[in-house]
Structure 1
Amino acid sequence: MNTSALKDSSRTSTRELTKISLVAALYVAVTVVLSVISFGAVQLRLSEMFNYLVLYNKRYIVAVTLGVVLANFMSPMWIVDVPVGGIATFLVLILCRVVTKRMANIKLKMIVTALIFTFSMFTVAGQLSILYGLPFWATWFTVGVGELLSMTVGGVTIYLLNKKIDLTK
């Protein structure tokens, strides 16, 4: 039996789990610290910047989804927000990874990802419309604008961070 390979595999698994846990925890921390602007019909969830990590490594699909699920327990409408937000995030992260996979330009990948996430805010607008009777189209617009702003600020942040730290590893 090759114990060296087993040790390397264990170390890799521990390293991967640590990175996933760290990103999930950061997502939750940023959302909770800024909770006053992270939930509702007008929101600026700056933790959405972590969505871009999926462009660098597929492990972040699990990390960000877990972060969203845990953060959404703080939502006033958590009973719906946890499952719907978690599933929607998971699916949109996979979609972004698939759509941008063959793109070489990271800036283009980030723009496409921001637009996909902005469009996907119909799920949040739908929840707010059903649970609180808010007008769907106006709510989709306000949540979408907030998402686009969050993704823009986050995109610049993650882009610059990747210049200092290789996010693919």
Structure 2
Amino acid sequence: MVNEKKTTGQGRNVALVAVVAALYAAITLMIAPFSFGPVQLRLSEGLNHLAAWNKRYIVALGLGVLLANLVSPLGWIDWVFGTLGTVIMTTITYFLTRNMKNALAKIITSTVVVATIGMAILAGEFVFAFNIGASGAFSSGSHGGIFAQWLAYYISVVPGELFSLIVGGVIIYILNKTIDLSK
């Protein structure tokens, strides 16, 4: 006989992964023209804070990014590197915050990880994409050496990311007051 409680828990996990992935993709696609490119506002990035509460959200956010990036002007580059970057930064967030009890500390840690490591990976993705000519619907506009290009892209993506993380952080903080996000 299958353990009914374990099966119910697994079903709940799968459902939560699907809901968060769909929510990430839907929010991204709702403002799609602004969700892609070297200067972007991807409000769905505020959901990255969820990884500080439960490792299932690493999978959920990775899937959400993959789904959203299926329409990215960068094509396969964004499918692979965008998804991989999200999995890396949310995994780091999870491990750094898994023993923290304070919600604000979790959100601050998540914000720092995503705005530094996550955006560094994204800037690297843009350098790679534009140097191989995969400009898609937007052009590079960055010239100079590899580091100069990386720095220009990093500086261009951080403001929108910080805005999204602050908005998402406020929502997740309030949500955490009424829902146990770790379960």
Return the TM-score normalized by structure 1: 0.91
Deviates more, 1:132-141 or 1:81-90: 132-141
Q: Which position in structure 2 is the counterpart of 1:109?
A: 106
Contact 1:73 1:82 in 2 (8 A): yes
Matched-pair contact (CA < 8 Å) for 2:54–2:94: no
Q: Which residue of 1 aligns with 2:17?
A: 20
Aligned residues of 1:48 and 1:154 also touching (Cα < 8 A): yes
- Shift, 1:21, TM fit: 0.4
Q: Deviations over 1:67-114 (max 9, x none)?
A: 111111111002101111111111111111111233332212211111
Aligned pairs (5 A) from 1:74-113: 74-113=71-110
**Do residues 156 (structure 1) and 170 (structure 2) align?**
yes
- Aligned-residue sequence identity (percent) comes to 39
**Runs of at least 4 residues off by over 3 Å:** none
Shift of 1:28: 0.5
Number of aligned positions between the proteins:
166
User: Please, what TM-score do these two structures have when normalized by structure 2?
Assistant: 0.84
Unaligned runs of 5+ residues in structure 2 are: 131-139, 143-148
**Could you tell me how far 1:35 is from its partner in structure 2?**
0.8
Query: Deviation at 1:129?
Result: 2.6
Match in the other structure for 2:145: none
* Secondary structure, counterpart of 1:92 in structure 2: helix
| Post-superposition offset of 1:10 | 2.0
- Pick the aligned partner of 2:38 from 41, 47, 56: 41
More helix by share: 1
**Partners of 1:112 and 1:34 in 2: CA distance:** 27
User: Residue in 2 aligned with 1:10?
Assistant: 7
- Report deviation, 1:7: 2.5
- Cα distance in 2 for residues equivalent to 1:161 and 1:9: 26
**Residues 37-79 of structure 1, C-alpha deviations (whole Å, 9 max, x = no match):** 1111111111011111111111111111111111111110021
The answer to whether residue 138 in structure 2 is matched with residue 124 in structure 1 is no
Alignment check: 8 A CA contact 2:77 2:129 kept: no
